[in-house]
Structure 1
Amino acid sequence: MHDRDIIKTGRRTRWLAGLAIGALAVASPVQAETLQGALAKAYENNPTLTGARAGQRANDENVPIQKASGLPNVGTQAEYQEYLVIPGNSFTSPSRILGVNAQLSVPIYQGGAVRNAVKAAKYRVEAGQADLRATEASIFSQVVGAYMDVIRDIAIVQLNQKNVSVLKTNLQATSDRFEIGDLTRTDVAQSQARLSLAEGDLRTAEANLIRSRESYIKLVGDAPVDLQAPPALPNLPTTAEEAVAIALDNNPDIASANELINAGRADIGVARAARMPKVSATLGGGYSDYLGSLRGVDQNGNRFAQTTKSSTAGVTLTLPIFQGGRPSAQVRQAQSRTSQAIENYVGVERDVIAQTRGAYAAWQANERIIAATEQAVSANGLSLEGVRAENSVGTRSILDILNAEQEYLNTQVQLVSARRNSYVAAFSVLAAMGKAEARDLGIDSGGTLYDPEVNYRRVKGQIWDWADDPKPQQVATDTKGVPAATANVPASVDTALPQ
């Protein structure tokens, strides 16, 4: 239920505007899928993300838990006793008693333990919210990778299918020419061998496509159907230095590490409070009813009263004098853990810098690979045509044709792979910069987005002991009903990759 806690977002980018293609599905039983649609499904249904949201809600509860230590505590106790054996020389003992007691305890001063514990809990809530951002960006990066993998592997299967078809035609032509004595048995064997290898490559490509589709199903919760070409990514940096500067300001892992340092410093204050005085006030009252069983009379001959009342009020001062060194050990422990958090921050910062620079370098390298491979595809296409023409006049062998066809296929596969790698690397740059979350990508999940701050504001001041949440329910969709992926692809070669 709380995965529906939301805020309306006033800002919507048009980064992945592609849903208009859904109009084409009116007359078709299968609707095309856009990258935005895939990300929206993962945003709503991915169990890693929905589980992280639930974990953050549990983290939110640490604030009211710590606040409770500084709030008044009220308790009552009722007791009924029946005396089964009464001493023989006791002439005034009752045979039964009903007692009711109530007590109010008010902490006045706890040495700063409560204040610092609440501060630490708040810092950890903020760290958890940053971690949730990081989880969201990580899931989106995986979805983008899976989406592009399916598109790439469909293209590779199509290319291999076309290659097998061409090689079958070559083998038939080679066999025909062998029958009339124009070619040798060696030419036929070469064509047969190359066709067999191509069929094996096709089976491998089909297996890779099935694996990519299953990975997509795992992340998105639905089968990939007619995936559309992804749009250009927005707001990409022009230099690696620009990307790093933005990442240092916005990366959620850095934000989380910084909040954990603050929490560690507050933990030191909690530990120091163990050697400080503590003051509390108490107010109590009691009522006893002997239910008419109290025997005996007072000096005036009146029967003892069958009910009594009492009340108390007091202040308690606890002053620690010697605790065997425990407080100092706890302070030193908290200080060491804070030092560890500081070093972890440096490590996270290093990781983010390396991740950003590496992703930027991979993106730029693949952009250059795309340009070079496009030229290679064009050149190999012309070369294949030339080799076939030269073979027709006897200046090229069958093996030359087979090699030219293989080189042409290889460069086409390299091109679709480079396009996939470039897009995924560019998205990784955005993720490292802290710009790959739903709020940045214009993800529209019914017009609202999950906001962890909503639940935190709901519970942070909660002091009612009976304010439970509804029974936990599954939020993420399972994939048991999704059919197993196949290697079926459209007949035509359409890479659907960014050009």
Structure 2
Amino acid sequence: MRLSLFLSVAALVGGPASAETLRDALAKAYQNNPTLTAQRAAQRANDENVPIARAGGRPTVSVSGGVNENLIRSGNNFTTPERLAQGNASVTLPLYQGGRVRNGVRAAEIRVDAGAANLRGVEASTFTDVVSAYNNVLRDEAIVSLNRQNVRVLETNLRASRDRFEVGDLTRTDVAQSEARLSLARAQLQTVQANLIASRENYVRLVGTAPDALEAPPPLPALPTAPDTAVEVALRDNPTLYAARRVREATDYDVRVARAGRLPQVGVTAGQNYLNYLGSLGAGTGLGVGQTGTSTAIGLSLSLPIFQGGLPAARIRQAQELRGQAIEQATAAERQVVATTRSAFAIWRSSQEVIKSAEAAVSANKLSLEGVRAENSVGTRTILDILNAEQELLNSQVTLVTARRDAYVAGFALLAAMGHAEADDLGLDGGPLYDPTTHYRAVRNSISDFNSGRRADPVAPGTTQIPAQDASVTRPLEPMLESDVDRTPALTTGVDRPRP
């Protein structure tokens, strides 16, 4: 199933127009992420290897000219005239080069295809990073809200403990326990606020804008039910693995190019020469001597290497070893894809189970906390029991928030490993998608020596103008994470506690 389906649904059911959705973040990163724009430039440079390789089999045309003034002459003016102007134009056409050009062009074309696949892989990797950063901000905002809520609750507990201590209902130990727990909660709040700032700054780095009022991410499409199914798809569609296999194929042509260094080369050369002695030939002899001359030549050249100091053999051995390296790298890429796919599937599946357990734990801890508070009001539970119950509720809520983030990111990473999280799959808004074949089609048959292309200018904007991020929270907590435990004065102050 294409990701564009769930992203389109998100656009229809999303929040207010001012909120930013995951679709918006991905579209911004697609246009402005420097890693992605740099990879596009690298692919355009890779495209040029095809016309470079083809140029080796095309004719070359050259002209030369010059004027010589002989200042010192040892002979007469027929053998050494005073001045000589000459010009030459030649055309050289290679007929046979041992297959160097043909195989070089084929290797370059295959590498262009591999580069396009690498670009798709960088897109998927970038999108995975954006999805992770997006969910990290949502997770850390929720954790900051939970810890702020916890601090407020512990502040109320401390005030109640001090009030009860004043009337002799609690001991100094109870107050100290409340003070210690509140101090730890405040320290923990500072830590999670710093984590939120770091997550927001990482979002700015990837997307290029600040994360303002992020909406909840849309549901992911249906994922495979078994890791073997996911691996089967990944081995077929993963772009990085495809690129490694294509590079492995290209190295076979590299070996053929190296072998061409031991084969003969045949070419045709045609030239036109022009001479002008500028009136200095036979000057002073009274003889009418022609001062200009032309000649036309055409020839067939044959170059047969006999001995080159071991250079061709070294190049062949080098190309064969590089092919061996490419073969092993393709195997390594396959192993990496299998491991990444299985790991993402395992994390996604386990996170689903953690979510179920954490939701049950949150509900149970809310009930437990309310019961502990009620029991404390009648003297059967201590302040420490309340503090521990509050902490357990917070821990379970943080576990739930983290598990939801992990499940979503792992699910998207699984789609990316399967080759189904690229720009074509996402159906992004913001204009047409980048087509790497456009530049390739424009340059692959180029024969102009003066088509220098465009100057390299910045594409991705900087982020120095974006203000430093803070720990502000833009989303309210969902009902399950709200602290809706009964904390009425009767339960907080213990006014209903029986007196001795």
Is this a same-fold pair by TM over 0.5? yes
Distance change (3 Å), C-alpha of 1:94 and 1:434: same
The reply to whether residue 460 of structure 1 matches residue 444 of structure 2 is yes
Query: Which of the residues 413, 419, 440 maps onto 1:434?
Result: 419
Q: How many residues align?
A: 479
SS of residue in 2 equivalent to 1:13: helix
Q: Give 1:149-164 correspondences, 5 Å limit.
A: 149-164=136-151
The reply to whether residue 13 of structure 1 matches residue 4 of structure 2 is yes
1:100-153 Cα shifts (integer Å, max 9, x gaps): 110000000001011011111111111111111111111111101000000000
**Hey, what's the Cα distance between the residues in 1 that align with 2:204 and 2:438?**
30
Q: Give 1:31-46 correspondences, 5 Å limit.
A: 31-46=18-33
Q: Give 1:49-448 correspondences, 5 Å limit.
A: 49-87=36-74, 89-90=76-77, 93-296=80-283, 302-446=287-431, 448=432
SS of residue in 1 equivalent to 2:433: strand
Q: In the alignment, residue 146 of structure 1 is paired with which amino acid?
A: A
1:442 to partner: Cα distance: 1.2
1:90 to partner: Cα distance: 4.3
**Hey, what's the Cα distance between the residues in 1 that align with 2:78 and 2:332?**
79
**Hey, what's the Cα distance between the residues in 2 that align with 1:491 and 1:254?**
40
1:20 to partner: Cα distance: 5.0
Distance change (3 Å), C-alpha of 1:444 and 1:492: closer
Task: Give the equivalent residue in structure 2 for 1:482.
Answer: 466
**Hey, what's the Cα distance between the residues in 1 that align with 2:13 and 2:445?**
47
| More off after superposition, 121-130 vs 242-251 | 121-130
SS of residue in 1 equivalent to 2:72: coil
Task: Give the equivalent residue in structure 2 for 1:472.
Answer: 456
**Hey, what's the Cα distance between the residues in 1 that align with 2:480 and 2:308?**
71
1:320 to partner: Cα distance: 1.7
1:189-219 Cα shifts (integer Å, max 9, x gaps): 1111100000000000100000000000000
**Hey, what's the Cα distance between the residues in 2 that align with 1:260 and 1:46?**
26
**Hey, what's the Cα distance between the residues in 2 that align with 1:44 and 1:396?**
59
Q: In the alignment, residue 424 of structure 2 is paired with which amino acid?
A: R
**Hey, what's the Cα distance between the residues in 2 that align with 1:236 and 1:411?**
27
Q: In the alignment, residue 36 of structure 1 is paired with which amino acid?
A: R
**Hey, what's the Cα distance between the residues in 1 that align with 2:55 and 2:479?**
60
Q: In the alignment, residue 436 of structure 1 is paired with which amino acid?
A: A
**Hey, what's the Cα distance between the residues in 2 that align with 1:82 and 1:325?**
45
Q: In the alignment, residue 485 of structure 1 is paired with which amino acid?
A: Q
Q: Which ranges in structure 1 are unaligned for 5 or more consecutive residues?
A: 1-10, 26-30
1:58 to partner: Cα distance: 0.3
Q: TM-score if structure 2 supplies the norm length?
A: 0.92
Task: Give the equivalent residue in structure 2 for 1:7.
Answer: none
**Hey, what's the Cα distance between the residues in 2 that align with 1:88 and 1:453?**
65
SS of residue in 1 equivalent to 2:89: strand
Q: In the alignment, residue 476 of structure 1 is paired with which amino acid?
A: A
Q: TM-score if structure 1 supplies the norm length?
A: 0.92
Task: Give the equivalent residue in structure 1 for 2:493.
Answer: none
1:342 to partner: Cα distance: 1.3
Q: Which ranges in structure 2 are unaligned for 5 or more consecutive residues?
A: 482-500
1:461-482 Cα shifts (integer Å, max 9, x gaps): 1111111212211000110110
Distance change (3 Å), C-alpha of 1:492 and 1:253: closer
Q: In the alignment, residue 314 of structure 1 is paired with which amino acid?
A: G
1:494 to partner: Cα distance: 4.1
**Hey, what's the Cα distance between the residues in 1 that align with 2:311 and 2:474?**
71
**Hey, what's the Cα distance between the residues in 1 that align with 2:423 and 2:314?**
45
| More off after superposition, 240-249 vs 302-311 | 302-311
SS of residue in 2 equivalent to 1:384: helix
1:257-279 Cα shifts (integer Å, max 9, x gaps): 11111111001110111111110
1:91 to partner: Cα distance: 6.0
**Hey, what's the Cα distance between the residues in 2 that align with 1:91 and 1:140?**
79
**Hey, what's the Cα distance between the residues in 2 that align with 1:147 and 1:54?**
26
1:172-201 Cα shifts (integer Å, max 9, x gaps): 111111111111111111111100000000
Distance change (3 Å), C-alpha of 1:88 and 1:72: closer
**Hey, what's the Cα distance between the residues in 2 that align with 1:112 and 1:187?**
89
Q: In the alignment, residue 372 of structure 2 is paired with which amino acid?
A: V
CA contact (8 A) 1:108 1:280 kept: yes
| More off after superposition, 75-84 vs 244-253 | 75-84
**Hey, what's the Cα distance between the residues in 2 that align with 1:348 and 1:316?**
46
SS of residue in 2 equivalent to 1:284: strand
CA contact (8 A) 1:254 1:349 kept: yes
SS of residue in 2 equivalent to 1:450: coil
Distance change (3 Å), C-alpha of 1:350 and 1:372: same
Task: Give the equivalent residue in structure 2 for 1:3.
Answer: none
